[in-house]
Amino acid sequence: MNQKEKFIQTITEGYTFKGESFVIGGAMLDGKTMEGLHVKVPLSTLNRHGLIAGATGTGKTKSLQVMAEQLSEKGIPVLLMDLKGDLSGLAKPSPGHPKIDERMQKIGLAFTPQGFPVEMLSLTGKEGVQLRATVSEFGPILLSRILDLNDTQGGIVAVLFKYADDKKLPLVDLKDFKELIKWATGEGKKEFQAEYGRLSTASTGSILRKIVELEQQGADIFFGEPSFDINDLMRIDDQGRGIISIIRLTDIQDKPKLFSTFMLQLLAEIYAKMPEQGDADRPELIFFIDEAHLIFRNASKALLEQIEAIVKLIRSKGVGIYFVTQNPRDIPDEVLAQLGLKIQHALRAFTAKDRKAIKLTAQNFPVTEFYNTDEVLTSLGIGEALVSVLGRKGRPTPLAATLMRAPMSRMDILEDDELEEIIEQSKLRKKYSQAIDKKTAYEILKEKIEKAEEEKEEQQKQRLEKKKKEEPGLIEKALKSSVGKMIIREVTRSLLGVLGLRSTYRRRRR
């Protein structure tokens, strides 16, 4: 058996799965695509997470698009976090191109242009259905980690949440939480301390400053009601295709804390509400995070620990998380170790440091006799990638240099009128467009503070009136007092003394 025959046998056996799967491209050897030798992804291991990486312009976003299309066709809902705004084209069919036809012919696949069911979502409500969540849904632990609080400050947040629960104070937005801090350290201080202990004003001041920082990144828009129902991410259209929900984040690229806040809350909500599924034949939801380096670049240690914990646990709920970034080094090792599927596009080596990093990246892939992995990583063309997935029994499949299939949808952004049309047709827009401003902790505590201030004013007024009534009897009281008696005695002495002098003066004159 020669090298080519051995390669064909290895790929055929390695990428044959018992359950459902889909094709993402054709296997390559020595730079040539083997027609009909397909690289597939099994549905059963998609909840083991994954990575799509590569230098700018190598085709990683198109690989994400291909994955989303294939998942939707299989009836699996998809959630995309789109920071660059270039994934909206999924809604419209590809116009086609001779190069696309050539690529698909090499792979041995038919090309059928089509659009997919898309839902546009937004954290600000500018270019999609408004997403919101309440402070209560975050909970004290997640909120403390997002605010990057120390243990003492985190303990205070936990106590404040407990007080709000006990007193039936709804914590919906950030102004609710700020008003709660103001109450617990101000007018309601005695009541709070009696049951929950004293709060350090230095710590509460620090917490307030962190909340203001979060507000400045737009979180005041995100926190509120109606909160988003995660079941709306799990929808299937009339044709049995999974809905692709695209969260457009183009307007918050410069607000990484808000981005991280939302992502963690959403994952935590999904984990908390979805039932345990274990290792099923297909996932319930696949979550793609484009430009993932923005999450980890400014993340605190606590935030990284939270992400790592969620990545480890959420797969049991049938949810797969896929990070899309320029370099695997952008992902912390603890998270990278959890990623089963890897689609690695070309990396560029401009410096000795880059070459060293490429050698380390090559070590993340299964050992193969068919490629010199670190050399292939720098020689891959646009739309080509090294692929390894989790196959039978959770073992990595043989490494395959792959010519990725072309997206069936448009590889470009939608025009403004096309985008507006999709937003107008959304079945969720009416449900989430109008913010609900019901009576929450802010209003309840505001009333308490105002009532306390009114009571103080009334008490002060009563004291003044009482003082005025008492003023006319002050002289009489003074006369009756020992001090008054002393004053009378001295006045009397003075008067008698004057009278005595006058009497002496009259006698002398006589």
pLDDT value at position 38?
A: 96
The C-alpha atoms of residue 150 and residue 29 are separated, in whole angstroms, by 53
Identify the H or E element spanning 490. helix 482-509
For residue 405, give the nearest of 15, 22, 10 by alpha carbon. 22
* Two tokens, residue 20: 């459902």
CA distances to 343, 450, 477, 486, 489 from 481, in Å = 98, 43, 6, 9, 12
- Tens digit of each residue's pLDDT, the chain (510 residues): 788 999 999 999 999 998 899 999 999 999 899 989 999 999 999 999 999 999 989 999 999 999 999 999 999 999 999 888 889 999 999 999 999 999 999 999 999 999 999 999 988 777 788 888 889 888 898 888 778 888 899 999 999 999 999 988 899 889 999 999 998 998 888 888 888 889 998 999 999 999 998 888 777 788 888 888 899 999 999 999 999 999 988 766 667 667 777 788 888 888 888 888 877 899 999 999 988 887 777 666 767 787 888 888 899 999 999 999 998 888 888 888 889 999 999 998 888 888 888 888 888 888 999 999 999 999 999 999 999 999 877 889 999 999 999 999 999 888 989 989 998 888 898 888 777 767 777 777 777 767 766 767 777 777 777 777 766 555 555 545 555 555 555 555 555 554 454 555 455 555
The answer to whether 428 and 129 are in contact (CB under 8 A) is: yes
DSSP code per residue over 165-185: HHTT----SHHHHHHHHHHHH
* Burial category of 500 from C-beta neighbours within 10 Å (exposed 0-12, middle 13-18, buried 19 and up): exposed
- In CATH, the number for domain 3-132+225-433 is 3.40.50.300
Crossing angle for the helix pair 151-166 and 135-146, to the nearest 10 degrees: 170
Cα 4 to the chain's mean position, in Å?
47
| Angle ∠(490,495,496) on CA atoms, nearest 5 | 95
pLDDT of residue 501: 46
Q: Enter the tokens of residue 427.
A: 């079945």
Taking the CA of residue 345 as centre, how many other CA atoms within 13 Å lie in the half-sphere pointing to its CB? 22
Tokens 């889909």, residue located: 22
Q: What is the pLDDT of residue 267?
A: 85
Angle between helices 174-185 and 201-216 (to 10 degrees): 160
24: helix, strand or coil: strand
Residue 503: the pLDDT is 52
Distances in Å between the alpha carbon of 420 and those of 189, 237, 250, 414, 417?
51, 20, 16, 9, 5
- Residues 310 and 338: their CA atoms lie apart, in Å, by 11
pTM for the whole structure: 0.82
